Amino acid sequence: MPNYMLLLYSAEVDEAGQAERDAEMPEWLAIGERLEGAGLLVANARLHPVAAATTVRVREGATEVFDGPFAVTKEILVGYYLLNCSDLDEALGQAARLPLARYGSVEVRPVMDIPTPGPVAAQPA
């Protein structure tokens, strides 16, 4: 069976909007359980908002680190790594070693730490 990546996009919302979305939680949990039960789920996670994003590029051998998400629309998402690192410096260091960092950009987004019993539920970022 081939693997598929589902990329979840949505607008960031204010606190009130977030409360509304948090109310969807049971629905997300149920979906997680169903996918897990059907043997379809490989991994999923909720990301911190873009305010916590850092973008890494390597140009002419020098690592360039920027605050914020990757914002050039000409480049497309081509893959992902989910890494377990001790802190941002380690994650940035690993990102800078990817060959793609030399011609593309790597956006490093922390995954939210959600203490949930059972399967981890995905939520729109």
Partner 1 sequence: MSPPGERPTQVADPVAAAIDRAFRDERAAVLATLIRQVGDFQLAEDAVQDAFLSAVGAWRRDGVPANPGAWITVAARRKAIDRVRKDRSLADRVERLAELVRLDAQEEPSVSEAGPIVDDRLRLIFTCCHPALDLSAQVALTLRVLGGLSTGEIARAFLVGEPTMGKRIVRAKRKIADAHIPYRVPTEDQLPDRLRGVLRVVYLIFNEGYAASEGDRLVREELCSEAIRLELLMCRLMPDDAEVWGLLALMLLHDARREARVDAAGRYVPLEHQDQSLWDRDQIANGLRSLERAARLRRPGEYQLQAAITALHLQAPDSGGTDWAQVAALYGELLKLSPSPVVELNYAAAVGFAAGPEAGLALLEPLLDVPALAGYQPLYAAHADLLRRTGDAAGAAGAYERAIALSANAVERTELERRLRVLTAG
User: Which residues are at the interface with partner 1 (CB under 8 A)?
Assistant: 48, 51-54, 63, 65-68, 86-89, 92-93, 108, 110, 113, 115
* Closer residue to partner 1, CB minimum distance, 12 or 27: 12
Amino acid identity, position 57: R
**Residue 115 Cβ, how far from partner 1 at the closest point, in Å?**
8
**Residue 31 Cβ, how far from partner 1 at the closest point, in Å?**
25
Give the residue among 34, 42, 31 at the shortest CA–CA distance from 3: 42
**Residue 41 Cβ, how far from partner 1 at the closest point, in Å?**
25
* Closer residue to partner 1, CB minimum distance, 40 or 83: 83
- Residue 80 has, within 13 A of its CA and on its CB side, a CA count of 15
**Residue 91 Cβ, how far from partner 1 at the closest point, in Å?**
8
**In sequence order, what are the residues at sequence separation of 6 or more whose Cβ sits closer than 8 angstroms to the Cβ of residue 101?**
56, 57, 58, 63, 95
Amino acid identity, position 111: V
